[in-house]
Chains A and B, each alone.
Chain A
Amino acid sequence: MKNKKFSQKLWAGFTTLILLAMLMSACGNAPEAKTYTIGVVNYLDILQPIYDGFKAGLADLGYVEGENITFIYNGAVAPERSAIEAEIQSLIDQDVDMIYAMGTLPALVAKDLVAGTDMPVLFAPVIDPVGEGVVESIAQPGGNVTGVQNANFSPKGLEWLLKIVPETEIVYVFYHPEDEVSLTVAQPLPDTAKSLGIELVLTTINSVEDALPIVQNLPAGASILIIPTPTLESLAPVKELAVERNIPIGSYEQPADGTLFSYAVDWPSQGRQAARMADQILKGAKPADLPVETADPFFTVNLPIAQKYGIVISDQILNQADTIIR
């Protein structure tokens, strides 16, 4: 009996050690088996493509949802600070490995809430993160926050509007007075218009409904340039009305739905760009050491809309388009 027990122990020890040795040998090449949790906070439904790009980018980098990565995403919350704070605090309480803040306000709130902790925050998109106080600088963000910024390409959008619709005499731009994004984006436009020799009207609206009467009464020769205004849910009625009234309308936001063109960041691409940074953070890189990257602008031409306007867009312009909607 004693000998049997000894043999059993011997075999057990032998098997254990063999397995241990195999495990040790396997550990050298296998990816870390840790499962990461990313808390996502969004406050605009239209930013969903960025989140999709973000997830696709992580998938390309080997993260499989449900296996080694988990996303806590409750959809877009109300675009109010309190709602965003509650959402981010909930994520902090769940001790996520990283917070992905979609937009300037979530990024700012997340920065404030994680201050004093080592919880990293990745943002995308944010326009002028230095100016908004999200990071200290582009090269050395400092703190726990970094991400992918959107440079303000609104002047270039205005230029493209004028190139596609050179008959434009006056350009209308709608913005929300309390919307930091729209204020930031609209800021350089007056000077640009001046230098381009065009009249620009910055019109304050508090809702889409406020814009519709204005569009309804725009004079001939007027064009509209849409800029991102997260506070407003959607400007689709404005775009539809503009097309209906044959008032050319361009956009400095993605996508080019209902507009002649859009000149803005490609959100899925930006999401992938953010995913690459997220991968570095999850692997131990400190946000403070990861410079803020900049998303590239994409020029999209919407030929069906152009046809509705009866506008023929030159080949020279089409050649410069990154995407042509036919």
Chain B
Amino acid sequence: MRKSLQTRLTVYFIALVLIPLLIVGAIGTWQTYNSEVPQALESQGEIAKRVAEQVKNFIEGRETELRSLTEINDFSNATRDEQSVLLSNLFSNQTVYEELILTNGQGRELIFLSRLKVVTPEEFDNRTGSEEFDKPKETEATYFSPVSFNEVTGEPYMVVSVPLLDLRSGRLDYVLIAKFRFKSVWDLMGQADLTGGGVVYMTDSNGFVVAHANPSFVLKRAQITPPSENSFATGLSGASSALAVEQLAFEDQTFYILAEQPASEALSLALNNITLTIITTLVAIVVAGFLGALAARQITTPIAELATTAQLISEGDLTRTTHVSNQDEIGALATAFNRMTSQLRDLIGSLELRVTERTKALSSVAEVGIAASTILETDELLQQVVDLTKERFNLYHAHIYLLNEAGDTLVLASGAGAAGRQMVAEGRSIPLDREQSLVARAARERKGVTVNDVTQAPDFLPNPLLPNTRSELAAPMVVGGSLIGVFDVQSDTVGRFTDADIAVQTTLSSQIAVAVQNANQYEETRAALSQSEKLFNASDRLSQATNLQELIKFIVESLDIRAIDRAILGSLAYNDKDELDGMTIVANWSQSAELPSSPVGTHYPKEMLSSLSMFTSAEPLFFSDVLNDEHVDDATRAIAQKVNYRSVAALPIYIGSRRDAIVLLEGQQPHNFTQAETRLLTSLSPQFAAILENRRQFERAQEQAKREAMLNLITQKIQSATSIEAAMKITARELGHALGMKPTAVSLDSSALAGEVMKNKENA
């Protein structure tokens, strides 16, 4: 369980008050105690002394009384009746005496007065042998007996014996024995001026209580050991008490007067101090607790309210505010808290707005991205992107620059709206190294850049087609680390673009870049496929050619280049040294009779060929416009002017490692040979060579077969001859016919028949 701040503050407050209070209280109580202890003992000591004096006076007064009775009234010389009257008068006047007994010098009782019992003369006894007679007789001094207790009443009594001596002889005439009850002494105890709760009592030498204001202690023979000095000890009541003792002595008898006051009373001031301290402590606890709770409440209530409000806010209720009105630090805290809450609310609201905007932006990005990804035609894609971007992001303008193949210029590829299309049509471009261009800078730095107030940009160049542009953002289009262009958006609002917008547009530009690349790759793939199809179709057509004329024709048709209107196939000839010796046109093609190509059989000597790079180049050559191409040599340019062609492609055909033929494609109009076209033509070169070689071999095989057939025919005719002569004639005729020679002479030499035949052949 969480300890509340209020409880802790209250406890601290109470502790703060109590600790010094308890310390002061303890010190005060200790000092009071130390001063009260001797005071209490002294007070009890004075009481004990005072009461002891009273008891002493009382008992000694009895002795004095008895002595006076006998001395003043000439008691010894009085008659028995007179003595009886004197004693009776004393007995009547002093009820303290329970019995008064007069004995003669021998101990014989002469007069016996008793309050409680009837004693007749016949019952008079002899006291000889009793201490109350013997002691005064022996000592001639007053005798005080120990305290005894009445068998019937249980009450204590004491006997005082006074010897009556003859003044002349010193003889013991009488002994007056007085038995008096201690009840009168009890009264002295009861009459003592005692302080609160105190008692005073008297004990005999054995500690038995013989006088006490409460007779019960006497009657039940309560006993206590008198302390040797005044001190705090266990009193007669059994409680710790301030106990003072005063000793009394009557001849042989010793008594103690004890004044006792319970410690709780004797030390009442100290105890009151403790009580006062406790009460003060309690009151202090209450007051401190009250004030502490109040103070803590004043502190914790607003804090609790703050905590509650914070809790509610943490649960999402941002409308909550505290209502703490304290004009103190907590009030300041509450104010700051409310301000913070308000800011938090605004911030979260702003965040939500921004998230919404961002979501919307990302949605737009996604939408644009999806649109971009579904369009495979680059120009259409780019146009779609800028138009959508402008619309979805509520922009003033958007356009895309693509980096040219040289990588040094950003060419405007698409632009939103009419202005954009117009700028595209104008072929606007930005050199990559232009310092003042935001688009170029984004491309160079490969990161999104903004100018949020173009009017403040010193190097901003106003575009008449976009007069309301106030802020601009350019994001690089990068794919795989390669820059392909810049996506540039513009707003007619100052400060329109934030870092978030940069991120969004950069993301979008990346997607556009990917889409563009995909579109490019698609086009390339499609082109490659088309190329392959063309190549396949060309190969197929080429393979179907039955002669070189068809072959050259099929080549032109397979390439399907409209600008090409003429074509020739030149067979290169080499001398014995394997040097180019010349070229003979073996096949040609022309689009129309008005524009004939070089006729078949046209021979070009090596001197002529050597000055023409297109005949000597080991690599295929493509000239878009021979007349305007600086790389074209003058001889070629001259021939081109002569035969009226401007575009030309020269494709050397290799058989083995030797350049065996050249295919020359010519066009009257200039033509930029595409990569596909050059690749297709180049790809056809080996196949063309193979077909050409096959054709040649086929032709050679046909020739060989034709010869062999002729030889077989001659052989058959020769074999059909019936004579050597006939055979010889036939041989000569057939050979001459076969070899196209007339006349043919045939001689027969058996040893050289074969050699003769060969000689004829060679001659032929």
User: B-contacting residues of A (Cβ < 8 Å)?
Assistant: 3, 6, 10, 13-14, 17-18, 20-21, 24-25, 28, 138-140, 149, 151, 153, 155-156, 158-159, 192, 195-197, 276-277, 280, 285, 289-294, 296-297, 316, 319-320, 322
Contacts and interface: CB of A to CB of B under 8 A. Distances in A.
A316 B219 contact: no
Contact of B117 (A138, A156, A197): A156
Interface in B16-33: none
Contacts of B123: 195
Contact of B120 (A13, A196, A322): A196
Nearest to B282: A21
26 contacts: A10-B290, A10-B297, A14-B289, A14-B290, A21-B282, A21-B286, A24-B279, A24-B282, A139-B220, A151-B153, A156-B117, A285-B216, A289-B220, A291-B216, A291-B219, A291-B220, A293-B215, A294-B152, A294-B154, A297-B116, A316-B85, A316-B89, A319-B88, A320-B91, A320-B92, A322-B95
B93 A151 contact: no
Interface string B88-103: 1101110100000000
Contacts of B216: 277, 280, 285, 289-291, 293
A316 B114 CA distance: 15
Interface string B203-226: 000000000001110111100000
Nearest to B290: A14
A289 B89 CA distance: 40
A290 B219 CA distance: 8
B215 A291 contact: yes
Contact of B285 (A6, A17, A153, A197): A17
Nearest to B286: A17
B118 A196 contact: yes
B275 interface: yes
Contacts of A24: 278-279, 282
Contacts of B286: 13-14, 17-18, 21
Contacts of A10: 290, 293-294, 297
Contacts of B115: 156, 297
A297 B95 CA distance: 11
A140 B220 contact: yes
Contacts of A20: 282
Contacts of A25: 275, 279
A17 B116 contact: no
Interface in B325-351: none
A319 B282 contact: no
B246 interface: no
Contact of B122 (A14, A140, A195): A195
Contacts of B297: 3, 6, 10
Contacts of A28: 275
B307 interface: no
A159 B289 CA distance: 80
A29 to B, nearest CB: 10
A297 B370 CA distance: 135
B639 interface: no
B118 A316 contact: no
A204 to B, nearest CB: 24
Contacts of A276: 214
Nearest to B149: A139
B283 A139 contact: no
Interface string B624-639: 0000000000000000
B118 A151 contact: no
Nearest to A280: B216
A156 B279 CA distance: 62
Contacts of B91: 320
A316 B92 contact: yes
Contacts of A21: 279, 282-283, 286
B565 interface: no
A291 to B, nearest CB: 3
A282 B297 CA distance: 51
Given A139-B220, A158-B118, A192-B118, A291 B282 contact: no
A290 B116 contact: no
A28 B264 CA distance: 11
Top 8 A-B residue pairs of the complex, sorted by shortest distance between their CB atoms: A291-B219, A319-B92, A294-B153, A320-B92, A17-B286, A138-B154, A21-B282, A291-B220
B260 interface: no
Contact of A18 (B114, B155, B278, B283): B283
Interface in B404-418: none
Interface in B132-183: 152-155, 183
Given A18-B286, A290-B216, A3 B301 contact: yes
Given A6-B297, A24-B278, A25-B275, 9 more contacts: A138-B153, A139-B220, A139-B221, A153-B116, A155-B118, A158-B118, A195-B120, A291-B216, A297-B116
A156 B219 contact: no
A131 B120 CA distance: 26
For A139, A158, A192, A196, the residue with the greatest tally of chain B CB atoms inside 10 Å of its CB is A139
Nearest to B150: A294
A94 B205 CA distance: 48
A322 B219 CA distance: 25
Given A10-B293, A10-B294, A277-B216, A197 B120 contact: yes
A21 B285 CA distance: 10
A197 B92 CA distance: 24
Given A14-B290, A21-B283, A291-B215, A139 B120 contact: no
Contacts of B287: 14
A10 B297 CA distance: 11
Interface string B113-132: 01111101011000000000
Nearest to A191: B118
A101 B219 CA distance: 21
Contacts of B279: 21, 24-25
For B215, B275, B279, B283, the residue with the greatest tally of chain A CB atoms inside 10 Å of its CB is B215
A224 to B, nearest CB: 18
A101 B214 CA distance: 22
For A10, A297, A322, the residue with the greatest tally of chain B CB atoms inside 10 Å of its CB is A10
A300 to B, nearest CB: 14
A156 B117 CA distance: 6
A140 B154 CA distance: 11
Contacts of B293: 10
Contacts of A319: 88-89, 92-93
B282 A17 contact: yes
A290 B282 contact: no
Contacts of B114: 156
Given A14-B286, A25-B275, A138-B219, A294 B116 contact: no
A144 B233 CA distance: 31
Contacts of B155: 294
Nearest to A291: B219
A159 B114 CA distance: 11
Nearest to B293: A10
A27 to B, nearest CB: 10
A291 B88 contact: no
Contact of A293 (B85, B219, B275): B219
Contacts of B275: 25, 28
Contacts of A289: 216, 220
A305 B533 CA distance: 177
Nearest to B113: A320
Nearest to B153: A294
Contacts of B120: 195-197
